[in-house]
Structure 1
Amino acid sequence: MNKTPVVEHRTVEEARRDILTAFQRLPAERIALHEALGRVLAEDIRAPHDVPPFRNSAMDGYAVQAADVQHATPDQPVFLRVVATIAAGGTPTRPLRAGEAMRIMTGAPVPEGADAVVRFEETSDTWAPEERPPEQVAILNPVRPGDNVREAGEDVRQGTVVLPAGTRLTPAGLGVLASLGFPEVPCVRQPRVGILATGDELVQPGEPLAPGKIRNSNEYVNAALVRRAGGIPVPLGIARDTVEALTGKVHEALALGVDMLITSAGVSVGDYDFVKHVLAAEGEMHFWQVSIKPGKPLAFGLLRAPDGRSVPLLGLPGNPVAAYVAFEVFARPAIRKMAGLTPILRPTIKARLQEDVRNSGRRHYMRARVWRDAESGELRVSTKGDSLRVQGSGILSALVWANAFAIIPETTAHVPAGTWIEVELLDVPEHALPLIDPTVAQYEA
């Protein structure tokens, strides 16, 4: 066995910087429009034609020349001869002349010569059938040129960049692309992330829980976090605590073509933490103690794939909460960078702490809950849940309660109640970020 790898000390910023420099945005792939919701455009999308492509009616009514009806009133209507009906999908057969009207449906092309549409509700169509003039329509109110007419290119002009590269596709964005005739679009490929749990003590859900065994929760948490971050999880199951088992799982991940491998456990200083040795043999690895709580032990490096690729690996701690925090701080921004998603970091705000907090010399990501006080309107944050042990690195249920991390700096030993502190929000959709803090700074790499 190789000698024990050297363990280096890193700040959170140093570790995140070194990790993110190893990741780049993945190449593009073409995605069918029905499958593209939430994906990131890899290229600018230019409009190949105007939307709408022709001048059309915004209402069911009558196409007219506005000058003909400028003096129309309910008491003195203007009568126009009805010369045609234009349905949506149809086309006018001739121009409209003075003194004429054409019955027209919403979306139908406005005929040449017409400059406005009068709604049915403002014509003799509202009269009793026996009162309506034959082959004519009575216009009861005037219209101005352009009323109820949608001009060609009113929505999108031909040649304009309608959706720039980096746009995350929403239902409305997909509608715009469909209106422009795109059956598929170039999107940044979603990263495939291998998920590997390690340890002889682990059993899968559904298996008997023998003495000394625990459930493999990290695999399911990490796979869900990968999916929520914009990646595709590739679960690899459990690697037992032998060099052969770990090596086999690493080779399996590389053979599956993953873009990143995430392991949990085995990167600390225990007698059976073989992950460090296996990873050191399979690539260029760094083993760190990061000034973060929970989650001090962390491994990062590049594995050598058979096809010559260098595949980043991030080794997370084994304790469930420590693994969750380390994922959020280090793995999530890397996945989002590969997927072309921005911002890559979660937003932070300031909130007033509700109780005294003590710290032990590392940056503490305390599980917390944020709310807005009904009377003062202030944002408040508490680190106290239903259990006195809510901040333990094995108390996974605390993360069900939490909607944020209360961040206590490594330089601060004591924070009294009432202090405004930095809070990192969890599960905030990108479109809501400006509503929270439009000036929030994002890490760029």
Structure 2
Amino acid sequence: MGKETPGIIMISVEEALEKVLSYVSVLDVEEKPILQCLGQVLNEDVYSAIDVPPRDNSAMDGYAVRAEDVVGATPSSPVFLDVIGEVKAGDIPKEEVGALSALRIMTGAPIPRGADSVVQFEDVYSAIDVPPRDNSAMDGYAVRAEDVVGATPSSPVFLDVIGEVKAGDIPKEEVGALSALRIMTGAPIPRGADSVVQFEDTDEALRRERPPFQIGILHQV
């Protein structure tokens, strides 16, 4: 019930709400294309049938790592990880983060398998000054030296070329037994390789097709 005071009529909140609502009416429900619904209100809640985003993603630029690998890291006692690749927003990570490895990751990119944390760029000691591996000083093929010992023009060693690495690339393939990666000057030496055979010392120095193919090593490194 309302209370009367000199010159003022007081009513309850419920009564005030009832009076306000008495001047408006609920609109009928209608279905319209979503692009014509600007400024309108949903009649009922809408639930997505899928997760959005579909998987955990990074909230910052940095490196996807395993938390157990970096526990206790400090500027005076850093932990060194092998950066094995890069993941951008929209990518589907192909590499899995294993022990003492990391993937460079951009904001919005999905967290790769094996990783459970992201270290932001600002907390990294140096991604450039401490490269994970040496760079090639020539164009050629990255190989394992033990595979080409004793190779000669009359008795070549044949290796399977499994890919190519250019300057600025992060090698994804690993050089295994009797395999090689075509490599360009300045490119990082891939995992598994410890030597580079220049193009002139193979029987396919002028080959132009893309890997995979086979080469013969004519001279040992």
TM-score class normalised by the smaller sequence = 0.3 to 0.5
Query: TM-score, normalized by length of structure 1?
Result: 0.24
Query: TM-score, normalized by length of structure 2?
Result: 0.46
Greater helix proportion: 1
Greater strand proportion: 1
